[in-house]
Amino acid sequence: MQNITGGYRGLGLLVDLNVDRLIYLGAIAAGLFGAAYIVSM
């Protein structure tokens, strides 16, 4: 049981550490798509 809760905590830590990277990549992608849309008009 301790291994399960420890693994869940470790997974939660990985998610917490990588959420900011996903937001950062999403913002870059949104900016690029937005710029491409504006240029193509």
Cβ contacts of 19-26, under 8 Å, gap ≥ 24: none
Q: How confident is the model over 20-35, as pLDDT tens digits?
A: 888 999 999 999 999 9
Total of domains in the chain? 1
Q: Hunting for tokens 């900011």 — which residue is that?
A: 20
Q: Is the pTM of this model over 0.85?
A: no
Q: How confident is the model over 10-23, as pLDDT tens digits?
A: 777 778 888 888 89
Domain hosting residue 21, numbered range? 1-41
